[in-house]
Structure 1
Amino acid sequence: MVGQDDLPDFPTPIVMSDHGGKSKWTVSIPPSYDFPLSVKEYGDMCKKCKEVAARVRDMRHRTQILDQNLLSQDAPNDPYFIDVAEAQKTGLLPDVAAEWPSKGQGHDGDLVGENKDSLVEKPVCESSMTFIMETADAGIGHTIMQLWTFYGLAKRQGRAFFIDDSRWAYGKYTDIFQAPPVPLCRPPPRHEMIPCPPRARHLVVTSETAKEMWAGSISKPHSDFRAQDEQGLRELFELAHEGYRALWDLNNNDAQYVSKRVKEIRDKTTVGNGNPNNGVVVGVHVRHGDCHPTEYQYHGTYIPMEIIANAAQEVIDSKHNGTGVDGGDDELAKRKSFIVLASDDPTVYDAEDFKGSMRAQEQIRLASKQEVHKAIPDRHVMHHFEDEAFGWEGGFFAAMFWNLGLSSMSASNAATAKNKQLAPSAEALRLRSYVGRAYLMDLAVLADASDTVICTVSAMGCRLLAVMMGWERAMEHHNWINVDGPYGWTGLTF
């Protein structure tokens, strides 16, 4: 057993003795610590968990449990790990919440949708997974793919699912999405919510531990989310799709706009006059900025827009060749077909290759340098500050994101590791939220309005679009087309 005076005053896995004097291990987090811990603290703890688990097995003279398949429902439990609540119940740990000599109770964090003031107290969840939105990645796409995938995994494992947005770079989750489904149970005391081992009763997942957990734990060959067979690929895809279906609810204003925009786009394809076919919509997603293609010859630059535009035209032609009433091409339907375009680079919309295309959405747009200097700014355009001499030409770069909300005097220091740990201003969060909303509305319109989507798989937005379309529509009907080399869909990559 471990006495309260023997417990470390910092979060760490610990070795202890059971009532028979045999070694066990658990994870100790002082309740005086704020929840959630930092992403780095959780990541470091996962590494220590592996070391401590190995040490206990050595002490018990047992061979190591293989990493593979630890995340599946029938995964073997580490017989020497004991959950925090169980350790307290059996007396192996003191009643941490009541007896721990602490400096007070830490902050409980911000679990989205949790109603702490409810008059009806729910029972504590039997098991849970809490996804921490905080990440050092400026892009929103990887976080969303992780969120969806781990939601799917939590449901497969029978866990309640919670989201914490305490330190999300894009601000409050409910400023962008509607609150997620609320479990019929409440989260446990925060010191019971731990990042390891993967079979812990109440698991915390972060951008840092996602890699550690999944890449080292899921059965091969799917360790890097690049399954080599269709069955494994579909399994990963369906996990993400389950999360998408449960969590994809944009805030009311954005959802209403997207619905109207999709209808507007689809109405433009109507031929009428008894024509057997309507036009087709080809959704095109172009990612520039700091995301470069997987295809080697374009690795240091971007896929030429001509290649993307030609692929879109081929789709339009193939849909209508030989579909006319006389067996010829349906020229009327072709003329009602067009590209719907979304890009992080405002110059793409003016490219000759995409002349006649339609923007996916105009609710929030990233401004070009020309738009920044307009005498009367467009209220729909996401501007940099007027004293800056550049716009979003070239696309989304991480440094530009971290600079949002800063004056040009301080912007040069914004992307340092130290400054990224500082709490952003309300203005910075407001602008970041606009960027996230613009990105997600682009995806929503492309997924819902397009007959076929063309994109580059190197961009996470491209992979998200496939998930949003669903396996049958995207893969079986070949309506999701990658123009970035001979690669198929992948989920998360690290």
Structure 2
Amino acid sequence: MPRPRPLTNLTSARPTTDYQQLTPRTPHSRSGRAEEGYTEFELQQLNENDDDYATETQQQAVPLLSSSASDSFPSTGYRHRGDDFQDEDKDRRAGKLDFNTIMTRLPLVMGGLVAGFLFILVVFSYDRPERLHRYFGAKVPGNSSSPSESSAPNENTTSSIPPHNLISYANYTKFPLLGSEYRNECHKLNQGFMSHGKYWEPHETGMMDVAHHESNSDYMLPEGQRTAVCSSTITYQLDGEVGLLADLALMAQAAALARDQNRTFLVDDTYWNRGKWTDHFQNVRTRQPGPERGCRAPPAEELVACPRLASFQVVNSRTAKFHFGHGFEDAYEDAYAHQLNRVRPMFDAALISLQQTIRPNAENAALIRAVRAELSEILSLHSKDVSPYLGVHIRRGDRRPASWSFHGGYVPTSDYVQSAEDTWERLNPGKPLTVYIASDVPSAQREYLELSDSRHTAFSLSQSKDSKVQALASPQEYVQKEFNELEKSQRIRATRGMIIDFALLSGLWAWKDEITPDATICTLSSNVCKLSAVGLGWKKAFGEVDKMGYIDQQQKGWVEIDQKGQIVPVWEPFELFT
């Protein structure tokens, strides 16, 4: 049967009537061409013309429908390939584009990674060259002269420390170093990333120390006896940068560490601005001999401030922050206690050190006994039985209160008077009050008596009958930076007076049946105040501390009138300096 001939005798003009039925147009009605047969611009023009009916006589350029047998009907059009062809084709093109993009940019990415790695190596080579040597197995250069860099031991030294962990002080010529120089060496060692291991764990790169001389094994004394150098020591260096009680508080903890680690405890007074240690205290070697009785102190050039596991560790007021900070607290606090109870181990350690290791020499001990005897006579005048007394420490000079309520000034003397009366009435109601006043202000005693209307009996070094004791009273306010300007004899005398004041305020170093204070009034900003609590003892200072670490407000004898218990913990064992 022959195929019908396509209709050609038709017009696409708009009919005169609106009710004539029209054949719907499809996307394939334009001469049988699918949309892909047009360019994007042509399709855009066609879409715009589809809505253009400005003239009713607009002519149709091509038939509405085209026969599939026509040559103009595409054999492989959109419908022939399926509706999903376009999406699949786009996916293939997108995947090909992503792969090409990745391959094009891959060299740039690899170059950036290599550049970053080289930058890290440059930083390490400048900051931590010993790590590069260790990681890559390179030999440590032996011509370095920087104190912070490692150096191999020479022919006169022996050491089991790996060469890359040797500490060199080659740039220094005078030993022992100053406190600030030891601090700088600690800064170099502890800069950058810090590992938070246990307190006595080695450095992250292993054991570190200086090279030790072979001659340390023996030493020929003039008498012909041979004395070996101590194998392990902790030395407290009196650097002359802080007050007496600030040093004693830190020294007490250092001596406790030596006992804990079974190391010999030593004191270095090379740079002390108060004379020699033995001018005021007994030799610590006799009080705390350590595991190697009679061993010789190590050479000064072998003292190491950091790390603490070095054979001959040295601690001073400037390096204490590296050893008595958070790591020390984590290791020696009572982790299962609360507030004040957490620091009980440090309190007990300081008390042992002050009772056994740090004791006044014979001269100072005699002066302390004389002052106690004189105060005892005053107390006996008011009672048949020797009554206790109360200590008051009034600090001025360069020690400002920590509380904001006293910002820019000092705690008023009237606060001391009121606190003394309240404390005495709480602890010893009805008994006459006798106060021992210790102060760096010569007029403090006079101010106190004026404000108390002579209701209190007061005593101080300046009131002693002994002229030698009177001469030990503080002549002026204590300012640390001005202390070195005094003559050496004046500094020694002021130090001796402070030792006696501290003994009377705290009750430390008292012999049997000697009087001690029932309470002490002071301000926390002073290290005299901190250690006075230790001298009083835990129970007398804080009363019956409950399980939550709160002070017994009725029985406490340590009365701090600066912060007034508003900080936690209410007591600290020492002060750290920068």
Normalising by the residue count of structure 1, what TM-score does the alignment of the two structures yield? 0.70
Aligned-partner SS, 1:282:
strand
CA distance in 1, matches of 2:495, 2:473: 14
Aligned-partner SS, 1:454:
strand
Determine whether 1:195 maps to 2:291.
no
CA distance in 1, matches of 2:284, 2:399: 30
For residue 361 of structure 1, what is the aligned residue in structure 2?
A: 461
For residue 130 of structure 1, what is the aligned residue in structure 2?
A: 235
Q: Verify the 8 A CA contact 1:31 1:97 in the aligned structure 2.
A: no
Determine whether 1:490 maps to 2:490.
no
Normalising by the residue count of structure 2, what TM-score does the alignment of the two structures yield? 0.60
Identify if the C-alpha distance between structure 1 residues 271 and 167 changes in structure 2 by more than 3 Å, giving closer, same or farther.
Answer: closer
Aligned length: 394
Show the 5 A alignment for 1:442-481.
Answer: 442-448=501-507, 449-476=516-543, 478-481=556-559
Identify if the C-alpha distance between structure 1 residues 24 and 400 changes in structure 2 by more than 3 Å, giving closer, same or farther.
Answer: closer
Determine whether 1:230 maps to 2:350.
no
Determine whether 1:434 maps to 2:493.
yes
Identify if the C-alpha distance between structure 1 residues 24 and 303 changes in structure 2 by more than 3 Å, giving closer, same or farther.
Answer: same
% identical equivalent positions: 23
Q: Greater Rg, structure 1 or structure 2?
A: 2
1:51: how far off? Answer: 4.5
1:462: how far off? Answer: 0.7
For residue 396 of structure 2, what is the aligned residue in structure 1?
A: 288
Q: Verify the 8 A CA contact 2:150 2:163 in the aligned structure 1.
A: no
Determine whether 1:402 maps to 2:402.
no
Aligned-partner SS, 2:319:
helix
Show the 5 A alignment for 1:82-101.
Answer: 82-84=207-209
My pick for the range that moved more, 30-39 or 141-150, is 30-39
CA distance in 2, matches of 1:13, 1:243: 36
Show the 5 A alignment for 1:5-404.
Answer: 6=142, 8-9=144-145, 11-14=147-150, 24-30=164-170, 33-51=173-191, 65-66=195-196, 69-70=198-199, 75-78=200-203, 80-84=205-209, 120-137=225-242, 139-182=243-286, 183=289, 184=293, 185-215=295-325, 217-220=327-330, 229-270=339-380, 279-321=387-429, 330=430, 334-335=431-432, 337-351=433-447, 352-353=450-451, 355=454, 356-362=456-462, 380-381=470-471, 392=476, 395-404=477-486
* More RCO (CA 8 Å, sep 6+): 1
User: Given residue 338 of structure 1, which amino acid in structure 2 is its aligned partner?
Assistant: T
Identify if the C-alpha distance between structure 1 residues 221 and 197 changes in structure 2 by more than 3 Å, giving closer, same or farther.
Answer: closer
CA distance in 2, matches of 1:397, 1:32: 31
Aligned-partner SS, 1:345:
coil
CA distance in 1, matches of 2:529, 2:196: 34
Identify if the C-alpha distance between structure 1 residues 146 and 162 changes in structure 2 by more than 3 Å, giving closer, same or farther.
Answer: same
Q: Verify the 8 A CA contact 1:23 1:80 in the aligned structure 2.
A: no
Q: Verify the 8 A CA contact 2:542 2:558 in the aligned structure 1.
A: yes
Deviations along 1:220-279, one digit per CA (max 9) or x if unpaired, are 4989xxx97234311222222222123332232221121122133234334799x7x753
My pick for the range that moved more, 290-299 or 157-166, is 290-299
Identify if the C-alpha distance between structure 1 residues 127 and 482 changes in structure 2 by more than 3 Å, giving closer, same or farther.
Answer: same
Q: Verify the 8 A CA contact 1:192 1:202 in the aligned structure 2.
A: yes
Aligned-partner SS, 2:390:
strand
User: Given residue 261 of structure 1, which amino acid in structure 2 is its aligned partner?
Assistant: V
1:48: how far off? Answer: 1.7
Q: Verify the 8 A CA contact 1:176 1:251 in the aligned structure 2.
A: yes
My pick for the range that moved more, 234-243 or 155-164, is 234-243
Deviations along 1:42-83, one digit per CA (max 9) or x if unpaired, are 11111222249x6xxxxxxxxx6315x42xxxx322363335
Q: Verify the 8 A CA contact 2:140 2:163 in the aligned structure 1.
A: no
1:486: how far off? Answer: 2.6
Deviations along 1:189-219, one digit per CA (max 9) or x if unpaired, are 4343211112222211122111123225324
Q: Verify the 8 A CA contact 2:506 2:534 in the aligned structure 1.
A: no
Identify if the C-alpha distance between structure 1 residues 299 and 440 changes in structure 2 by more than 3 Å, giving closer, same or farther.
Answer: farther
CA distance in 1, matches of 2:183, 2:338: 28
CA distance in 1, matches of 2:540, 2:361: 26
1:4: how far off? Answer: 11
1:437: how far off? Answer: 1.1
Q: Verify the 8 A CA contact 2:179 2:239 in the aligned structure 1.
A: yes
My pick for the range that moved more, 345-354 or 187-196, is 187-196
CA distance in 2, matches of 1:118, 1:192: 25
CA distance in 2, matches of 1:379, 1:360: 10
Aligned-partner SS, 2:387:
coil
Identify if the C-alpha distance between structure 1 residues 228 and 8 changes in structure 2 by more than 3 Å, giving closer, same or farther.
Answer: farther
Deviations along 1:83-104, one digit per CA (max 9) or x if unpaired, are 547x67xxxxxx6779xxxxxx
Gaps of 5+ in 1: 55-63, 89-94, 99-113, 322-329, 366-376, 385-390, 405-427
Aligned-partner SS, 1:279:
coil
Q: Verify the 8 A CA contact 2:265 2:284 in the aligned structure 1.
A: no
Identify if the C-alpha distance between structure 1 residues 118 and 474 changes in structure 2 by more than 3 Å, giving closer, same or farther.
Answer: farther
Aligned-partner SS, 2:532:
helix
Aligned-partner SS, 2:285:
coil
Deviations along 1:1-41, one digit per CA (max 9) or x if unpaired, are 99999254464352779x9xx98412123498332112122
Identify if the C-alpha distance between structure 1 residues 8 and 168 changes in structure 2 by more than 3 Å, giving closer, same or farther.
Answer: farther
CA distance in 2, matches of 1:119, 1:169: 35
User: Given residue 149 of structure 1, which amino acid in structure 2 is its aligned partner?
Assistant: Q
1:358: how far off? Answer: 2.9
CA distance in 2, matches of 1:265, 1:480: 20
Q: Verify the 8 A CA contact 2:388 2:518 in the aligned structure 1.
A: yes
CA distance in 1, matches of 2:481, 2:326: 31
CA distance in 2, matches of 1:115, 1:380: 47
User: Given residue 460 of structure 1, which amino acid in structure 2 is its aligned partner?
Assistant: N
CA distance in 2, matches of 1:205, 1:437: 24
Deviations along 1:366-422, one digit per CA (max 9) or x if unpaired, are xxxxxxxxxxx99943699xxxxxx62xx2123442321xxxxxxxxxxxxxxxxxx
Q: Verify the 8 A CA contact 2:232 2:263 in the aligned structure 1.
A: yes
CA distance in 2, matches of 1:343, 1:261: 16
Deviations along 1:154-204, one digit per CA (max 9) or x if unpaired, are 211211111010111112111122222343122234343211112222211
Gaps of 5+ in 2: 1-132, 154-158, 508-515, 544-554
Deviations along 1:452-493, one digit per CA (max 9) or x if unpaired, are 111111111111211222223322352211111233211223
Identify if the C-alpha distance between structure 1 residues 134 and 262 changes in structure 2 by more than 3 Å, giving closer, same or farther.
Answer: same
User: Given residue 177 of structure 1, which amino acid in structure 2 is its aligned partner?
Assistant: F
CA distance in 2, matches of 1:318, 1:209: 42
Identify if the C-alpha distance between structure 1 residues 204 and 466 changes in structure 2 by more than 3 Å, giving closer, same or farther.
Answer: same
Deviations along 1:119-153, one digit per CA (max 9) or x if unpaired, are 5434332311011101323x222112111121112
Aligned-partner SS, 2:408:
coil
